[in-house]
Structure 1
Amino acid sequence: MERPKAILGIETSCDETAAAVVTSDGRVLSNVLDSQASVHARFGGVVPELAARRHLERIEDLVDMAMRQADCTWVDLAAIAVTQGPGLAGALLVGLNFGKALAYASGVPLIAVNHLKGHLASAWLAHPDFPRPALMFVVSGGHTHLYYSEKPGQYDLLGKTVDDAAGEAFDKGAKMLGLGYPGGPALDRLARTGSPTAVHFPRPFLKRTGLEFSFSGLKTALLYYLRKWDGTAPPVADIAASYQEAIVDVLVQKAFRAVQSYPIKGLAVVGGVAANSRLRARLAERAAQEDLCLVIPPLHFCTDNAAMIAAAGWEEFRLGRSASWDMDVVPNWTTFEPAQDEERSSAVLC
């Protein structure tokens, strides 16, 4: 029996170096990752130059490890898929240039992948039979976007944040509470020991009829609330739980507002914030009430990984899309249109 072809995925958009091999029938043969959380923790956030240098140090070993774990050779590959954007320019350049070199040397087609499409594709990694039309909700550190998808490769934007993303609100909230980096998971853990009704925080944009989001005002509300304690120790666990509940309330209510407005068969919630335990519980509860097919990927597919890039690469491959050798990174890739229509990066890797 002939072995299915595979795609090698490479992801270096931020602070994880990742490589994975995924077959044409959606099987993940390998999915390896090097996290830089400990590298950036003492700075309280990602330092772009350090991230790029770490990618340079680790990418060759990670790709080699992914290929060995998958028991693959270059002749087994249909293509190499690499993240082109959005993300940190220097970090993206490492992965893109490495992918170009591999594709050129092996004679394998190169596919450019939008990082958000990677997150969207993770829904089908988790649930290969996830039905369309579907509502797709990307919730991450840099994005809070709702999409409607009727067929592979087609994602119509329904609404997005007008300022900060939900993940940004979690991370900055954690920083204000002194929880360290990475902030989102730390706030999630602490919130489990607090009361979600102890402090009332605003639910931005819930009274508006559209599907837009805003979280900058919520961050400001937390800042002003903490100032009221004026040197005395605040009930940090209760504050964390209440602040988290405000973010989750907005995400869940807006998602199901969209569910009720569009003819869909399922809802997928993807991205780093989809790893939040309270959000997962609230979504599952509401989906059960609505008798709706809900897909939230397992935790290792929520955060940045290369399996999702390979899966998105298959979607692009089947649509006949491949990249040119002169393509550049697109740190601010704001749409799903071809990257040449977007503003290109002029950044130089140090």
Structure 2
Amino acid sequence: MSTFLGIDTSNYATSLAVYDAASGRVPVMLKRFLPVREGALGLRQSDAVFHHTAALPEMIDELKSKTDCRELSAVGVSVKPRPVEGSYMPCFLVGRAIGSAVSAALGIPLVETTHQQGHIAAALYAAGGDLYEKRALVFHISGGTTELLLVERLQVLRVVGASQDLYAGQAVDRLGVKLGYGFPAGAEVSRLAASCAEQPDPRVSVQGTNCSLSGLQNQCEKLLAEGRDPAYVSKYCLTAIAKTVTRMLQAAQAQEGRLPCVCAGGVMSSGIIRDHVTARVPGVRFVPGEFSSDNAAGAAILAARSGEGTHG
């Protein structure tokens, strides 16, 4: 048996995935975004827990139609946001409960990991499995984190840099919701920005490998108040994030050496960010959207690579 189930119940999506270690492929990826009411900037944790609980039985049925669950070797599940003490969100308890149940029912190991480690594993898989065993810089940018991580053998060695206040994904989502789009708003902000022919030159705040993004939200609100076109403001926002990412990566490479760089997380799906950064940081790799945004592929890969899990 060489197939491994991954489960991730983040504050954005319910995700299941199957990794086939024999072929090195992820043949099954299932995801449902959590519904957010119009104008809201996210979900209460109690609502997230409800939506995960409601979605998973149907998703498990769909999974069974796509793979033989009796052939699973282990289950990998995200049990908290990040691999640090005190990291906790109730929504991950739903995935943990389902993972424990599958583990017990099938008599297979349960491998507990974190949402961030899952992102890293999925990103390195999509960027090229040759990075699994190497030391690399992984930039994880989403609605819940903006961290530049030093990674080796899929483990976070340390945080090299981070935002000192607002996360990049928060800046994008707040702009998108202000423009009338649903949460999360990254895809709509990116689409709107792509229609702008002007090239903004935003101010950014980067101090070595750390940054501050709270000023970006203020700048975008000021531009809208001045009557600037929403497409221009959207491009301004994404260009500011691109400049910030570039400067932080350049500082990290100067500090850590010319390590491979991988950019992951939902915000990194933006073509504007990708094009800006790749033109200025040699060898940087961006991850395709399905492996960059929230997904369970990383949890499945980590289960396969763990060798031995803990039985639920």
How high is the TM-score relative to the length of structure 2?
0.88
Deviations 1:270-317 (A, max 9, x none): 111111111111222224xx3x2x3222111111111122123334x1
- 1:85-114, Cα deviation, whole Å (9 max, x unpaired): 129834222211111111112211111111
* Contact map agreement 2:242 2:277 (CA 8 A) in 1: no
Higher relative strand content: 2
Alignment of 1:283-294 (within 5 A): 283-287=277-281, 290=282, 292=283, 294=284
In structure 2, the partner of 1:295 is 285
Moved more, 275-284 or 125-134: 125-134
1:101 equivalent in structure 2: 101
2:123–2:292 CA contact under 8 A, matched in 1: no
Measured in 1, the distance between the counterparts of 2:204 and 2:197 equals: 17
Question: Residue in 1 aligned with 2:179?
Answer: 177
How far off its partner does 1:221 sit? 2.5
Task: Give the TM-score normalised by the residue count of structure 1.
Answer: 0.79
Cα pair 1:130 1:295 within 8 Å, conserved? no
Is the alpha carbon distance of 1:150 and 1:304 closer, same or farther for their aligned partners in structure 2, counting shifts above 3 Å? closer
Whether contact under 8 Å (2:137, 2:261) holds in the other structure is: yes
Q: Does the 8 Å contact 2:111/2:310 carry over to 1?
A: yes
SS of 1:29 mapped into structure 2 = strand
How many angstroms apart in 2 are the aligned matches of 1:89 and 1:153?
21
Percent identical pairs in the alignment equals 26
Equivalent position to 2:21, from 19, 24, 40:
24
Q: 1:80 aligns with which of 70, 75, 84?
A: 75
Aligned to 1:307: 297
Any residues of structure 2 matched to 1:28-47 within 5 Å, and which? Answer: 28-36=26-34, 39-47=35-43
C-alpha contact (below 8 Å) 1:8/1:81 kept by paired residues: yes
Give the distance between the partners of 1:122 and 1:252, measured in 2 at CA.
22
Is 2:52 the counterpart of 1:51? no
Aligned length: 303
Matched ranges for 1:105-144 at <5 A: 105-126=105-126, 127-130=128-131, 132-144=134-146
Q: Distance in 2 between matches of 1:323 and 1:144?
A: 30
AA aligned to 1:6 is T
Q: Provide the rounded CA distance (Å) in 2 between the counterparts of 1:238 and 1:226.
A: 9
- Counterparts in 2 of 1:50 and 1:150: CA distance versus 1, 3 Å: closer
- 1:92 aligns with 92
| 8 Å contact kept, 2:243–2:277 | no
Distance 2:252 2:19 in 1: 32
**Counterpart amino acid of 1:234?**
R
Residue 13 of structure 2 aligns with an amino acid whose one-letter code is E
Secondary structure at the residue paired with 2:111?
strand
1:256 maps to 2:254: no
- C-alpha contact (below 8 Å) 1:137/1:146 kept by paired residues: yes
Task: Kindly provide the amino acid, as one letter, of the partner of residue 271 in structure 1.
Answer: G
Distance 1:137 1:128, change over 3 A: same
Choose 1 or 2 for highest CA Rg: 1
- Amino acid in structure 2 at the alignment position of 1:81: G
Amino acid at match of 1:149: V
- 2:154 & 2:196 partners in 1: Cα distance? 42
C-alpha contact (below 8 Å) 2:108/2:311 kept by paired residues: no
TM-superposed CA distance for 1:265, in Å, is 4.3
Q: CA deviation at 1:56?
A: 1.3
List runs of 5+ in structure 2 lacking aligned partners.
82-86
CA-CA distance at 1:139 after TM superposition: 1.0
Q: Write the mapping of 1:262-341 to structure 2, written as runs, cut at 5 A.
A: 262-287=256-281, 290=282, 292=283, 294-315=284-305, 317-318=306-307, 320=308, 322-323=309-310, 325=312
1:204 equivalent in alignment to 2:205: yes
Separation (CA, whole Å) in 2 of partners of 1:303 and 1:105: 30
Kindly provide the CA deviation profile for residues 22-51 of structure 1, in whole angstroms up to 9, marking residues without a partner as x: 022431121111223xx3142433323333
Q: Which of 212, 217, 230 is the matching residue for 1:219? A: 217
**CA displacement, residues 304-335 of structure 1 (integer Å, 9 cap, x when unaligned):** 111122123334x13x4x3475xxxxxxxxxx
Letter in 1 for 2:241: I
Contact 2:42-2:184 within 8 A present in 1 as well: no
